Amino acid sequence: MFVRTFGWSFGVSAVALVAAFLYGGPQALFLALVLGVLEVSLSFDNAVVNARILERMNPFWQKMFLTVGIVIAVFGMRVLFPLLIVGLTAKLNPVEAVQLALAKGPINEPGTYAYVLHHAHPQIAAFGGIFLLMIFLDFFFEEREIKWLHWFEIPLAKVGRMNGASLVVGLFALALIGLLSGSELQGPVLMSGIFGMVTYFLVQGLGELFDTDVSGEIDADDIPAMAGGTHGKGPGKAVLVAGKAAFMLFLYLEVIDASFSFDGVIGAFAITSDPIIIALGLGLIGAMFVRSLTVYLVRQGTLDEFEYLDHGAHWAIGALAVILLITIGVEVSEIVTGLIGVLFIGAAFLASIRRNKQRASEPEPAHTT
């Protein structure tokens, strides 16, 4: 199972490291390896969330995530996205943006690719932070039978009974970061945050346009519930979606995946500004291993066996959202960003093990005839 699932990742990583060595020698090989490790450490919580959504899809759409999805992750987010941001920020056409990227240059030198992208960070952080915050709020504002951190999750579920609770909290957070970002950044930060919120509700709302459930089992507008793992016929049984509903779930998954990658893309420029090395390290090595880890979690049924992992992953999402919003005004180390997700997942995993042991030690209820 392990070799079959991770075989492609090891193979692609080997090719990427060879390409990095041929491109820039031992230094480029080392940087690509460091970036790959960085991406995996930052995205472990991403793999858990991806796995919960992916297990709701039929085999065809799972393959789509691993083929088309990896192309979007590698070339869309690790190559085209930085070029797009630099082009828009510096008012450059695509050819000029590519030329600027290939020219390299340090992050503290005005006019360089790394410098322009670094200074676009507040807008990127506002978009990704608000989008991830809405995911966190919608998950914990929903009443759930299973709760991990009861002392906090029960009050959140009570707040969620209010209509539009996530929207109210999201708008309050957006207004707060707008006030704290300063007069120069206030406009761009607020607009980016609004786009992040609109994107979240758009992905959900589009489900109504695809509400064509021929099977009568599940609709595309149930995407948030499916993503949270609340749909199924009986305990532990998931309804596999197909067709237009699966397509909407695929789009939802790609937007979440992209939002998780923001911190890795920005953090990579603290290590190198070379777009080729970033694409090899973050994309081919890191993104491939994250996808393999996602598939491994699905095939092993880990999320059902360790029931608090969902909660741990969404607490990590909330923490990442807060960190992204904080980084608009304060620099936060990528080590902190990566470790906080791992800590939440690790704590949830250990809590799940304890819960399973408690269940195993409990006496079975007596059967009466």
pLDDT at 214 over 50: no
Residue of 117 and 185 predicted with greater confidence: 185
Q: Which of 15-29, 130-144, 206-220 shows the lowest per-residue confidence on average (mean pLDDT)?
A: 206-220
* pLDDT given at position 220: 44
Q: How far apart are CA 327 and CA 129, in angstroms?
A: 10
300 band by pLDDT with thresholds 50, 70 and 90: confident
Percent of the chain with pLDDT over 90: 4
* pLDDT given at position 233: 39
Q: How far apart are CA 32 and CA 65, in angstroms?
A: 24
* pLDDT given at position 236: 43
Note whether 131 and 197 are within 8 A (CB): yes
Q: How far apart are CA 199 and CA 130, in angstroms?
A: 10
pLDDT at 312 over 60: yes
3-class state of residue 1 by DSSP: coil
Residue of 327 and 208 predicted with greater confidence: 327
pLDDT at 245 over 80: no
Q: How far apart are CA 282 and CA 268, in angstroms?
A: 8
* pLDDT given at position 172: 92
Q: How confident is the model over 68-126, as pLDDT tens digits?
A: 887 777 777 777 777 777 777 667 777 777 777 777 666 666 667 777 777 777 888 88
Spatial CA neighbour of 189 closest among 284, 92, 328, 16: 328
Q: Average pLDDT for residues 263-290, to the nearest whole number?
A: 74
Q: How far apart are CA 6 and CA 12, in angstroms?
A: 10
Q: How confident is the model over 316-366, as pLDDT tens digits?
A: 888 888 888 888 878 777 667 767 777 888 888 898 888 888 877 777 655
What separation in angstroms does the CA of 212 have from each of 17, 54, 55, 220, 230?
46, 20, 21, 8, 20
